[in-house]
């Protein structure tokens, strides 16, 4: 026979309080400010809105002039200039990587002193703020109208972005290997060499190839300001309104860029993923 159980007294049901509705004041103010900036910028451009309906027809007209019957007589020279642009992009990428990797590693937390990190990150930010075209125009006064000017401009302009990628990659590396090297008596240089670099090298090499892909596209733009390559040829024939040759040049640029992107992308995937192991099933 069991004893009588004392009834449990349930607490009085408290009144449910709904959470306070979040304020949308600042988001509304921000949206209004952005809209005002867009309206002011659009008003300052003095756009002739009445010309917009005729734009599709004009675009179609010039597309027919360029691609209806492309001029293939200049194709050999176009291929040669494309090769110069690719060489310019590759040389610029190498210069960028050689400079940005050591500087970017010194800018990472735990590697360089705070004053050096601050200075390097400031330099990277300033370089990122200057477009490649402006750097090329400055270098033109020193090096002249040569492809080396374009390669140098691409190398300098890439240091800002590449250096940022480097120190962010170094800072994202797991701490286990670094702590192991420090526990064994290693200094900062040894930690960088034997812990940080092996872990970050695949990602940094992938970023270097991605920089090369960016340089290929940018090299065509630098050619418009006289830095050489396919961009200079494209600018000249555009100025003389030889649209059939311009169409051929655009086709060459698009095909060359897509091919280099495919090759570079395959190499980057191989670096990041490694070689794929295939299982060969042997029938008994």
The position carrying tokens 């659009």 is 42
Query: CA 110, 113, 117, 120 torsion: positive or negative?
Result: negative
Over residues 38-50, mean pLDDT: 76
- Reported as a single tens digit per residue, the pLDDT across 202-248 is 888 888 888 888 888 888 888 777 777 888 888 888 888 889 899 99
- Reported as a single tens digit per residue, the pLDDT across 127-144 is 999 888 888 888 888 877
3-state secondary structure 149-161: HHHHHHHHHHHHH
Query: CA 187, 193, 194, 200 torsion: positive or negative?
Result: positive
The position carrying tokens 């007589």 is 73
Per-residue pLDDT band for 17 (boundaries 50, 70, 90) equals low
Distances (CA, A) of 88 to 145, 158, 189, 219, 229: 13, 13, 33, 7, 8
Query: CA 102, 106, 109, 111 torsion: positive or negative?
Result: positive
Q: What is the rounded CA–CA span in Å between residue 175 and residue 195?
A: 9
Contact between residue 72 and residue 163 where contact means Cβ atoms under 8 Å apart: no
Share of the chain above pLDDT 70, in %: 85
- Answer with the residue of higher pLDDT: 161 or 44: 161
The beta strand positions in the chain, using DSSP E, are: none
DSSP string, 32-47: HHHHHHHHHHHHHTT-
Q: What is the rounded CA–CA span in Å between residue 94 and residue 26?
A: 46
The position carrying tokens 């374009």 is 150
Average pLDDT, the chain: 81
Phi, psi of 186 (to 5 degrees): -80, 145
CATH 1.10.287.990 is right for the domain spanning 92-273: no
271, pLDDT greater than 70? yes
> How many residues are given for the chain?
284
Contact between residue 225 and residue 156 where contact means Cβ atoms under 8 Å apart: no
Per-residue pLDDT band for 23 (boundaries 50, 70, 90) equals confident
Over residues 143-171, mean pLDDT: 87
Contact between residue 243 and residue 60 where contact means Cβ atoms under 8 Å apart: no
Distance, C-alpha 168 to centroid of its chain: 14
Phi, psi of 274 (to 5 degrees): 80, 175
284, pLDDT greater than 50? no
What are the structure tokens assigned to 87, written together?
Answer: 């060489």
Domain boundaries, the chain: 92-273
Per-residue pLDDT band for 176 (boundaries 50, 70, 90) equals low
CB atoms within 10 A of CB 43: 9
Over residues 101-113, mean pLDDT: 87
Distance, C-alpha 161 to centroid of its chain: 7
CB atoms within 10 A of CB 215: 28
Over residues 252-279, mean pLDDT: 78
Side-chain-facing half-sphere of 137: CA atoms under 13 Å? 8
**Which of 28-37, 177-186, 190-199, 224-233 shows the lowest mean pLDDT across its residues?**
177-186
């Amino acid at each position: 026979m069991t004893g009588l159980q004392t009834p449990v007294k349930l607490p009085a049901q408290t009144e449910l309080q709904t959470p306070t509705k979040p304020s949308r004041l600042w988001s509304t103010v921000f949206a209004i400010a952005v809209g005002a900036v867009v309206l002011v910028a659009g008003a300052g451009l003095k756009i002739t809105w009445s010309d917009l309906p005729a734009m599709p027809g004009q675009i179609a007209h010039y597309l027919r002039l360029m691609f209806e019957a492309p001029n293939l007589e200049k194709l050999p020279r176009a291929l040669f200039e494309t090769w110069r642009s690719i060489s310019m992009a590759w040389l610029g990428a190498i210069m960028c990587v050689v400079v940005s990797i050591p500087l970017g590693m010194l800018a990472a937390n735990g590697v360089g002193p705070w004053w050096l990190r601050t200075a390097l990150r400031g330099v990277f930010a300033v370089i990122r703020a200057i477009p490649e075209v402006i750097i090329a125009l400055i270098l033109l006064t020193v090096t002249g109208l040569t492809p080396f000017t374009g390669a140098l401009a691409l190398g300098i302009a890439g240091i800002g972005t590449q250096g940022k990628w480097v120190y962010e990659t170094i800072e994202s590396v797991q701490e286990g290997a670094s702590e192991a090297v420090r526990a064994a008596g290693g200094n900062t240089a040894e930690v960088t060499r034997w812990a940080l670099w092996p872990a970050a090298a695949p990602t940094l090499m992938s970023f270097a190839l991605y920089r090369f892909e960016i340089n290929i596209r940018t090299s065509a733009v630098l050619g418009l300001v006289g830095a050489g390559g396919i961009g200079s040829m494209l600018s000249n024939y555009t100025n003389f309104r030889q649209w059939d040759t311009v169409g051929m040049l655009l086709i060459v640029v698009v095909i060359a860029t897509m091919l280099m992107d495919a090759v570079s992308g395959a190499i980057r995937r191989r670096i990041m993923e490694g070689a794929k192991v295939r299982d060969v099933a042997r029938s008994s």
